[in-house]
Structure 1
């Protein structure tokens, strides 16, 4: 069995990781992601550098026909993500096909592609369904935009056998969060009897947020119209597409 076909149950996982983000990345995130079939992520802040930091895991995810679902706060949507979503169809198709060809022919890796052209690689991830992104905007009970930000941080991984690992802690999906900051992450697994309820609650919570089923959030799929709105707005959290009933 190759390392990319390994299961979570074969890994020696701890219940708490703390210290430099790079150490947590190397000892937990990358090994787990390499075994994963899906990766769900809640993060207040997001940078494309975080994808580069786990590029080998993203590569393994793609080769299993897996997916990454990302929910990020509206206050911090990277311009590269918006540019990739806003590409015209012809340009996007050409860029995506070239990236896909190199990866399929195994003359390149996801890490190589990010180094070559970050925009093209993002367009490929989003076009091929490897990366799905939704944007979270805090709202009050009248569905007016809130002054606060979406600040949740959670990782949920599933392997090819359906085993689930949940990590909750301080790291954002950023270069600093994955490398340069002091962070901590508590980890729970669903094959350990006393931890199943925790895993179930957190996976159900993610699905509720993803499906816009939280009264304190509006969660919107990142599509072309929303990307255009965010790209042209000087204050993204005020986007009318985020809050259906903004105050006058």
Structure 2
């Protein structure tokens, strides 16, 4: 795939799911269950989220033991080539285009099982430039996700939202770096309230002078390139290994 084609695809992935986010926000506001939509079995393959839910469930059926960790998030997660950490098999539960409201509402596909670690890495799709960002909806949905994984006695870690790059097609012209800081403050407050580990992804990627993404780490302003993913994976692996007190370089069997 050529670079322009790849950038156009990434832009479509970034735009996908915004209408669903609005719908899910309305359902959550009316007291809808975060486990409501996807059900226990593979849903009909009518859209990317439905197909992706089925694929993740099939991936999880292949786990041979409880030595697994899960990363839950948006297209940045979905595009990641996860590596074993501390001997744990990775499960990629990324949904392109999904915001916190969408992910909270569609958790029904996840089996009730304990992971040794769950990393929640989402939120950039909540930072789209708009007149009235729904910070309260983000807060409630993010907390619902934390509670859902915590109910399975998994060790939960929450990751900051990374900044976006200036001057790129899907960078700061589409996403708001100041809003990302506000959303990260909500994540920090939640982590402090629940006593869970926060992964400082924003600090790992931000320029010191203006809190934008350091140049050369994305393909389009928000989706990471190979160098960006090396930093992303290392930062997450180091945080998980510190929390679990294990060797991050040990491979899964």
Q: Which of 1 and 2 has greater Rg? A: 1
Q: Does TM-score exceed 0.5, indicating one fold? A: no
* TM value normalised by structure 1: 0.30
* TM value normalised by structure 2: 0.30
